[in-house]
Structure 1
């Protein structure tokens, strides 16, 4: 399945600054507000391929096309040939197969097959070797560009760091546990904390994840992975902390409330960072709430944090048709339907129809960030489900996959598998 990924995403120099990704370009002018002096822009120009562009604060950029590939032009300042369009020239240098690069095939072999009807015939190890060869050549090429003043110092530093850690990652692909441990022993906490672009941290996160897989025989038991982090005889500081937080989150989302509470309490007891503990307390504040866990209804919060339940929603719209959309921030098909859903809301704005959006099996922070991406900023009935694991109502509705749509009429469920917003049949349903 081809992912409904954003067309434009942005990486800021400022750690923690979040810029909303662009799912669909609906205007010829886009203005970004950022405190960062530079932005790394990821442009996905087909279902598989993306290029990186480096922009500077204040830039006015025009996006054109050359050789079926985006090409950025800056009108407000002089730039060197390879400053912004480095990836364009890189693609031209190393060529492509059916218009896709070696890395495209490495990451998306199945997608290449679906979109082109052709299968990349080489084995994974062969592709990795080809990538390593390209990256080593790129290292020398980039140095040559810099020494010949064809790329500026800042841009050279970014592209060089990206290439360095990408190369290290591919070289580590087939390494044994001993080699990966050697990599991890060179980890530096200070560099990790200040790695705004994420190249260094992504490499070491890859090393830790691969090392943990080898040490636990590729266990998918997040409790075992969490426990194993206590027995690594390397000082991994923030990296190990990140690992524990990721595994804790998986435990919270995939195990019983009792197991989740056990590991949460253990983490809090072991950790003396009061700011972090306070943040986790807020994040999981509803997880261990007895009123929520003992409720048979679907317990909800809105964007402002107000608590209510699904029964309140049905009562609020008593006498109306209610079109319920179960979605999540991580669900690409859900997000793909949001544009059609908006058109439905506009079309039936003066009718007796309420549109209700319920985020299921999601994370609250991710849900909040996804609201503008989904175009739900101005939707009043937009809620986050608090008791995915314990709600009897949810259990009875049997929500096995999303997106999922329900229709209520005068408080009664009349369609348990209603048509999607993009399905023309939904109009017939509403008219009936």
Structure 2
């Protein structure tokens, strides 16, 4: 049963170029070699039409969006996310790149993916079928037949009799059923997995065939073949393959986001032991993970750089300032791609270490990286009521309050009431992205806190959970350290009473 669970949890994120026991393909001149002088790709997104929630075991819905659009630059280890368009207006995005092409991954429905390779200079429009499946069209050049989807190649995929149940609940969600029913589901599911593996193996041969006929570019062939080859493997087989990869095979494999996440999974499972806490949950000790990566003897330079960047980011978001300083020094010495040093310095505000250790002043940074303080803000807003909103990019209850907060700002835009948004994120990029998504990027009073861990003010507030709201009076005095949220209609009465004073 373990291999079945591994296959289901990993099959949607794994990718690998395996050439052994495959039909030898003759090279044909249809790869992406010539690069247009324009170093950008224009992408226009129509409204996403797929489902935006997913059923979970208790029959409720998750509010986490299913659709995800991201791309990988093969010249770097970084993956970039693009916004999904949920409006009726066309969403236009320009991607500036130095590499000849990018690999775009579009997730939709439950674990389904489409992959596209776009070259420099392309003008792309993406529309959607009713189930959310993306359809890409390149407007300024003719693409090869199978470069924008497998079309008729990917037909007759086997479906389990319990497919709908399995896709939405998984093996772990059937424990409440009778033993007889569980055994029946497992038997049907095992048969389904066998049929599915055979289907993927057959699909790989068809992908090879159209590539040999010149109907698919080399880059697209690498992506599609790698993805479906890996989907045909069980979790245990995948692990054994990863352990025996040459450096060249590692570099080929881990230019893809989904295969990188497979590597993360394997490193999580076998590269360290989580720390046990009294609550029963395991908490990752990222120092142990970093030490494991630093001491690993069988990683290529590219793969090692990715793992160091990934886990240093995780450590920087959770560890103490002293630990971050120690491990960032190790990171700088070990990393081969020195450009990633400045990338992380910016992302984790490493360059602001002195301010991050400051206790007396609550230091703030804006999306233009200018520095400010809460004290300075209160002085500048004397004569106004100040409403403080503590939030973070990862805080769902905080995000839920944002529409009500925007409306409240509008209601009091002509009154002496000022709103300030203070994020406790430790990842500048994550905050900046959420800041934009919540339409705060153009609002002048939105900041990320620099010295979360050391601020005396935050310790006095005992800011242990968010969202949290404060009210300062017109003299800059804190009069309510636990104010009502924007969605509570009584908050307006409190504002109105304060305005009369």
TM class by smaller structure: 0.7 to 0.9
Query: 1:302, CA displacement in angstroms?
Result: 1.6
Per mean C-alpha deviation after superposition, the further-off stretch among 204-213 and 316-325 is 204-213
User: Residue 455 of structure 2 aligns with which residue?
Assistant: 391
- 2:93 is equivalent to residue 32 of structure 1: yes
1:301 maps to which of 341, 365, 373: 365
User: Take 1:239 and 1:198, find their aligned partners in 2: how far apart are those partners?
Assistant: 12
User: Residue 207 of structure 1 aligns with which residue?
Assistant: 266
User: Take 2:232 and 2:115, find their aligned partners in 1: how far apart are those partners?
Assistant: 19
User: Take 2:114 and 2:283, find their aligned partners in 1: how far apart are those partners?
Assistant: 34
Is the partner of 1:367 in helix, strand or coil? helix
- 2:232 is equivalent to residue 170 of structure 1: no
Alignment CA distance shift 1:291-1:335 (3 Å) = closer
Alignment CA distance shift 1:349-1:365 (3 Å) = same
- 2:322 is equivalent to residue 258 of structure 1: yes
Higher relative contact order (CA 8 A, sep 6+): 2
Aligned runs of 1:53-202 on 2, under 5 Å? 54=116, 57-65=122-130, 68-70=131-133, 72=135, 74=137, 84=148, 86=150, 93-95=157-159, 100=164, 102=166, 105-106=169-170, 134-144=196-206, 147=209, 152-154=215-217, 155-168=220-233, 170-172=235-237, 179=240, 183-188=242-247, 192=251, 196-202=255-261
User: Take 2:294 and 2:126, find their aligned partners in 1: how far apart are those partners?
Assistant: 49
Q: Which has the larger radius of gyration?
A: 2
User: Take 2:160 and 2:467, find their aligned partners in 1: how far apart are those partners?
Assistant: 36
Alignment CA distance shift 1:302-1:208 (3 Å) = same
Query: 1:126, CA displacement in angstroms?
Result: 9.4
Alignment CA distance shift 1:413-1:364 (3 Å) = same
Query: 1:196, CA displacement in angstroms?
Result: 4.5
User: Residue 9 of structure 1 aligns with which residue?
Assistant: 69
- 2:472 is equivalent to residue 408 of structure 1: yes
TM-score (ref. length: structure 1): 0.75
User: Take 1:88 and 1:430, find their aligned partners in 2: how far apart are those partners?
Assistant: 62
User: Take 1:22 and 1:88, find their aligned partners in 2: how far apart are those partners?
Assistant: 29
1:311 maps to which of 375, 380, 383: 375
Equivalent residue pairs, number: 414
* Root-mean-square deviation over aligned CA pairs: 4.5
Q: Structure 1: any 5+ residue segments left out of the alignment?
A: 114-119
User: Take 1:229 and 1:55, find their aligned partners in 2: how far apart are those partners?
Assistant: 31
Is the partner of 1:344 in helix, strand or coil? helix
Is the partner of 2:289 in helix, strand or coil? helix
Is the partner of 1:134 in helix, strand or coil? helix
TM-score (ref. length: structure 2): 0.66
Alignment CA distance shift 1:142-1:237 (3 Å) = closer
